[in-house]
Amino acid sequence: MKMLSCDVAVIGAGTAGLAASAAAAADGAQVLLIEGGEPGTTCARSGCMPSKLLIAAATAAHCAGTSSVFGIQTAPLRIDGRAVMTRVRAERDRFVRSVLQSYQRIPESQRLVGTAQFIAPGRLQVGDGVQVTAKAIVIATGAYSAVPAMFDAVADCVLTHETLFERVMLPGSVAVVGAGPLGLELGQALHRLGVRTAIFDRGDRIGGLISDDLNASAARIYAASLNLRLGVELQAEPLAAGLRLHWQGPQQRGSADFEHLLIAAGRRPKLQPLALHNAGIALDAHGVPVYDRATLRCGDSAVFIAGDCNHDRPLLHEAADEGTIAGRNAAACPSGVQAHPRRVPLAITFSDPQIAIVGDVVTPGHVAGRVDFADQGRARVMNANRGGLKLYGDPADGRLAGAEMVGPAAEHLGHLLAWAVQQRQSVRSLLDMPFYHPTLEEGVRTALRDLCAQMPPSISSGYVQRVFGAGG
């Protein structure tokens, strides 16, 4: 048995793990990075990047197929599914190679390959032949697609985002389970690429939207072009080729045959191999370590948890931040552990129209301002005049608190609004900013004006609304 010791052991070499390793090493710790699977991030290999490559192809097909609204006629559209997937996989592999270069730059003496499990607090067994003793340990093992047991009978037909992008051809038909960000993005992209697609969800929410009125608007918009079935229970039975899916809800029931079932109904922390019962830390009802969100420390132990495996904010920029926080605190443990400020929450769904959720959209007592993109000037110019924006403000101080949007360029407007929320900008100060004409940002100004009007007179009085041009 080979015995190793280090200051900080990091389990997992994804986004959070690489960030934790770099942060701990930068603070002078002796670090050992342990990877039990394929190195490389979820984002590059099976998440953000390949999904956006598929969406880019779908957008090109959609634009070609709908250009007649601008008076532009195209030849009959032909989609080469093999060529689509060839580009997706080739560009995906390029992104993965870039991530692997970061991993491979870490000295071999600071890397260890093998599945890690706790054998005691501060001690790990890695594979069959190595034991590691560490002063502090960072868990950064990521997450995996959760496939409900109800689909075991059709397991051979199941796809997840981990397997979809390994295909050399687009499937002929797919039933997507889950209308959250991932299911909506992939379902719409496959539909636009000529795949017969239906999207199912037992709930009634689209893309994570919280506002009832925006969610209802989104459901109408997407249902106009997609086979979208919300509020339904599902049953699947195997066929000689593919599966038959039955659905039933309060106002609908039916069945249809599909080649594949694409599961996009959430991801589970990848914690099972770790034997956390030996780690000396408390676990919640789902087996996830109980931890402090500001320090990422598990109780008063020398264990920290970062990235998708803590089931908090499963996004790349959050995983990188959490890895840095966990790595620095692990290096400083026990006496130098500090709470670190977090960025304003920002979530984006790359559907069409896009969805963005920013900051605090749930606190009671906040007031809201709105804009409908149906008559927004630049949106109409672009033939993208669908959806709306809802801004939330704190009437106590006039500060912008959050935003929800389904509409054009939400990925960009969402960033603009997230920056404003993080800087604690007031509605009045934002209305003093320049708004060029004609732009989608003028829609933000319309919503800000409406939000200002909902504020108490002590905040809203004295504002002079100046209107120039048309369609803002």
* Residues noted as catalytic: 437
What residues contact 28, with CB distance under 8 A and at least 6 apart? 331
**Residue of 69, 15, 76, 10 whose CA lies nearest to 313:** 15
Ligand-binding annotation for 4, yes or no, is no
φ/ψ region of 28 (left if φ > 0, alpha if ψ in -120 to 50, else beta) reads: left
The length of the chain in residues reads 472
Residue 210, helix vs strand vs coil: coil
Ligand-binding annotation for 182, yes or no, is yes
In angstroms, rounded to a whole number, what is the distance separating the alpha carbons of residues 32 and 9? 5
Ligand-binding annotation for 52, yes or no, is yes
**Residue of 51, 58, 271, 258 whose CA lies nearest to 161:** 51
In angstroms, rounded to a whole number, what is the distance separating the alpha carbons of residues 357 and 315? 13
| DSSP code for 290 | P
Ligand-binding annotation for 112, yes or no, is no
**Residue of 42, 115, 39 whose CA lies nearest to 267:** 42
Give per-residue burial for 98-134: e unless 16+ CB within 10 Å, then b: ebbeebeebeeeebbebbbbbeeebbbbbeeebbbeb
In angstroms, rounded to a whole number, what is the distance separating the alpha carbons of residues 450 and 388? 13
- Name the token pair of 145: 């697609």
Ligand-binding annotation for 266, yes or no, is yes
Ligand-binding annotation for 185, yes or no, is yes
Q: Which pairing describes strands 260-263 and 173-177: parallel, antiparallel, or unpaired?
A: parallel
Ligand-binding annotation for 212, yes or no, is no
CA angle centred on 128, ends 118 and 280, rounded to 5°: 5
In angstroms, rounded to a whole number, what is the distance separating the alpha carbons of residues 161 and 174? 13
Ligand-binding annotation for 135, yes or no, is no
In angstroms, rounded to a whole number, what is the distance separating the alpha carbons of residues 298 and 310? 11
Ligand-binding annotation for 2, yes or no, is no
Annotated binding site for NAD(+): 178-185, 266
Annotated binding-site residue numbers for FAD: 52, 308
